[in-house]
Structure 1
Amino acid sequence: MSSTKLNSEGVLLFEQPFARVPYENYRKVFRATQRNIERELGNVQAVSNDLLKRSKSREVNLEDAAKSVDGMIGRVENLKRKLSELQDTAGKPTLDVTRERLQHLMTVETLQTTGSLDFSRWADTRLDRWLVDWALRTGRENTARTLAQDRNIETLVDIDLFTDIRRIELALSKHSCTEALAWCSENKTALRKIKSTLEFELRLQEYIELARDQKKQEAMAYSKKHLVPWQETHLPQIMQAATLLAIKSSTTCGPYRRLYDDSRWLDLIQAFRLAIYNLNSLPTEPLLNLALYSGLASLKLPSCNDRSSHNVDCPVCDPSINTLAQEVPFSHHANSTIVCRISGKIMDEDNMPMVFPNGQVYSREALEDMAAKHDGMVTCQVTDQKCEFSALKKVFIS
């Protein structure tokens, strides 16, 4: 088995989302914990301050003070229970997933060559992960779950994340912003950091639906509560939206017809997907596609666009992945590799290229095999010209 020195940095190039997703999940757990602590302890602090103030002015008796203290103890115990449940149901499992994924990545750093059996196993697992990722992104959730269970890689793939994405996108496709807005609330700080306007677009869409139904009072109240806070950055859009209250959804006026157009829901789905991918450092393309792009870009030649010269062993020429190959540039090789279009084998000093009188070149091995089967005659695969094998000339690679 041939082997080369393992470039761990290159191997880990696509692995940022692999570690980032559980990190983001645990950060959500941390924020939920922080909110619970601030809310409950804030209430306890308020009651304590009130009790202290009344005690100084001697406006409280022992029975009221005891009830206040009991109430504070109850809140703290309730907080402890909530935090314990949150840690058991989300915190610990997420930490376990993070630890297992990091250990999986650390395996690469201990390997020396690509020819080792351990790297082969690791690469097989990576391919399984990429296949699950591809299945999840293309709506094949049952296939993804089955493959993950069969390969025992449930903790190494993001089925729950994509299930959540699909749930929210399905709600948006049914013209409901509720689920997406709840997600925005959970990730408000992170969305603000990446300057995402997803929440505004969702709020605007809910306002548009109220205007569509001619619920003018509700629309004005909604705008005051949810759109006006965005006026520093979205004032023109808010002013345009305000005009909708005087315009029906059947309008033919371009700007307002576009606001009422149902295609906005598709735009919201795309905006939500882009935002959640961004927060989790997920590429917009499946990881499997990105890996294929890299390989195809190193193989694609101008001849691959010519159907008459397709090579049976060339991945770029393969009809099943040729669509992906069309999106990558041609490869740039300092030294060309000449491949026989009959056999798919590389032509070199041991398998010399042979040229027909018409200039077409094929490998000696393929032509010798053809001549042996046809009484010394060979046929050009491009022009169908026939000639004797003895009429061919050797070509020397320089």
Structure 2
Amino acid sequence: MANNKLNTDGIFLLEQPFVRVPYENYRRIFRTSQRNVEKDFGPLQNASNDLVNRARAGTLNDEEALKSIDSMIGRVESLKRKLSDLNENAGKPTLDVMRERLNHLATIESIQSTAEPEFSRWADTRLDRWLVDWTLRNGKERTAKRIARDKDIETLVDIDLFSDIKRIEDALARHSCTEALAWCSENKSALRKIKSTLEFELRLQEFIELARQRRSEEAIAYAKKYLVPWQGTHFEEIKHASALFAFPPTTTCGPYKRLYDSNRWSNLVRSFRLAIYDLNTIPNEPLLHLALYAGLASLKLPACYDIQTKNVDCPVCDGESAALRAANGKESDVVMTSASTEFNHDVAQPNSATLTTMAISSPMSGSTSVVTPASFSSESQPLGLGKLAEEVPFSHHFNSTIVCRITGKVMDGDNMPMAFPNGNVYSLEAMQDMAAKNNNFVTCPRTGTTCTFSELRKVFIS
């Protein structure tokens, strides 16, 4: 039960954006309501003050007073309808989403062990959420909607947010800044808090496009209206861009050729994505990748990246590279593993066990060999999960173990590693069993080398 104890804090580490996204949506709705109130209450207050002043001065008759009051009542009723519609169409649905998500997270607090069925169900739902997140980030919106609908998790995923992201990114891909600038206007205060320069970059790009089309007068007017307010922090960029009038779009002058470069639009797409992710505390990597990183980091060994030690049964070794295909079908000797996870990495290993920064010493040869990350084969580039694993550190084992390829059992002081004259290593138990069945002769499964049991030598790990 102790090993199955639920790590609630660890689970919540990845759940901040899960709650933050609807919270940020509701904040925007609240700000919109606040702007509507301020916009309509200003004229109301002015009309009320004017009515009081005229009444005190004795210049207000009953008919004018009733007309002024009716006008104020009409304005208040209009504001009430506007706020009510906003709440029904946006505020209430967002609150319902927040409530659903908080209830989903609250389920964890009542679960004590990962072995409980409730946790399995919760974890399945979490995986579905992560799959939807991954599909949305990769532009597979229809697939995401289908998964959300089939799994009944529409309120637990951010399809609307990523739809907006895709809409704006598509506009930028069409060389239009209009949608992105509208988004910046809606989130001006939040962007200012995180010191984002996205709006300036968009304004600068629009100025560059005017210069590209040689519309000089419009470009100058645009710069005065939208770029000059940024001169306190971006004076050098503005000064640099102003010289575009002297250079045509076909210029070969490096600094101005880069300003005219169409790849700037791709940079704007990335800048926008980083800004909106930052505002909603969404990680740049898919949540599915972050979860996989944690598991792969505990399995990743140098053996996973060696052409002769790859194994398709290991997640880190995943991928059908040419090196892996060349190694398929061959046998191996000993595998280095952690105490809790025993994946065989030694496919087609010509010598003794490949260990993570460990040395294998043999009294027979008097030599010691160490395998380190520097010895990786350049021909064996990982694919699939192995590609993800490239970005995580190697697993750190306080107590490393080696496993016999024949029996699959850990070799230790009671089951010593035994080395053939050719250097291949198997467990004492496997060798004794083989010798008992073959008149004291043992055969290396990989090379077919045969010798007597007495010719085997004990291997000591240092």
TM, length-normalised to structure 1 = 0.90
- Secondary structure at the aligned position of 2:300 is classed as coil
Cα shift readout 1:338-362 (whole Å, capped 9, x = no counterpart): 245678x452469865533322234
Aligned equivalents of 1:342, 1:317: Cα separation in 2: 21
Alignment coverage as a number of residue pairs: 395
Q: Which residue of 2 aligns with 1:47?
A: 47
Q: Return the offset for 1:64.
A: 3.2
Shift of 1:265: 0.5
**Structure 2 CA distance, aligned partners of 1:46 and 1:354?**
96
**Contact 1:207/1:223 (8 A) holds in 2:** yes
Contact 2:424/2:444 (8 A) holds in 1 = no
List aligned pairs for 1:247-396, cutoff 5 A: 247-319=247-319, 320-340=384-404, 345=408, 347-348=410-411, 353-362=417-426, 378-381=443-446, 384-387=447-450, 390=453
CA contact (8 A) 2:404 2:411 kept: no
Q: CA deviation at 1:364?
A: 7.1
Moved more, 289-298 or 54-63: 54-63
Shift of 1:311: 3.1
The Cα shift of 1:52 comes to: 3.0
Q: Could you tell me whether the CA contact under 8 Å between 1:8 and 1:109 is conserved in 2?
A: yes
Residue 228 (1) aligns with residue 292 (2): no
Aligned-pair identity (%): 64
CA distance in 1 between partners of 2:18 and 2:452 (Å): 56
| Equivalent residue number for residue 77 of structure 1 | 77
Shift of 1:309: 0.9
> Partners in 2 of 1:144 and 1:241 — Cα distance?
42
User: 1:80/1:332 Cα in 2 relative to 1: closer, same or farther (>3 Å)?
Assistant: same
2:104 matched residue in structure 1: 104
- Residue identity matched to 2:62: L
**Structure 1 position 155, deviation (Å):** 1.0
- Amino acid aligned to 2:410: M
Query: Which amino acid is 1:386 matched to?
Result: T
Deviations 1:228-279 (Å, cap 9, x if unpaired)?
Answer: 1111111111222222233322222222111111111111100000000001
Q: Deviations 1:339-390 (Å, cap 9, x if unpaired)?
A: 45678x4524698655333222346788899999999874454xx3533685
Q: 5+ unaligned residues in a row in structure 2: which ranges?
A: 320-383
Give the secondary-structure state (helix, strand or coil) at the position aligned to 1:318: coil
Gap change, CA 1:97 and 1:59, over 3 Å in 2: same
Q: Which has the larger radius of gyration?
A: 2
Is 1:123 matched up with 2:123? yes
- Which structure shows the bigger proportion of residues in helix conformation? 1
Q: Which moved more, 1:302-311 or 1:266-275?
A: 302-311
Per-residue CA shift, 1:15-60, capped at 9, x if unaligned?
1111111111111111111111111111211222233334444444
C-alpha change, 1:118 and 1:180, in structure 2 (3 Å) is: same
Q: 1:38 to 1:295 in 2, by over 3 A?
A: same
> Greater shift after overlay, 130-139 or 306-315?
306-315
Gap change, CA 1:219 and 1:120, over 3 Å in 2: same
TM-score, length-scaled by structure 2 = 0.78
Query: Residue deviations 1:167-209, cap 9 Å, x none?
Result: 1100000001111111111111111100001011111111111
> Residues 354 and 92 from structure 1, CA distance in 2 versus in 1: closer, same or farther, beyond 3 angstroms?
farther
Separation in structure 2 between the aligned mates of residue 30 and residue 124 of structure 1, nearest angstrom: 34
Q: Is the CA contact 2:212–2:249 (under 8 Å) kept in the aligned structure 1? A: yes
CA distance in 2, matches of 1:153, 1:363: 51
Q: Is the 8 A contact 1:171 1:179 kept in 2?
A: yes
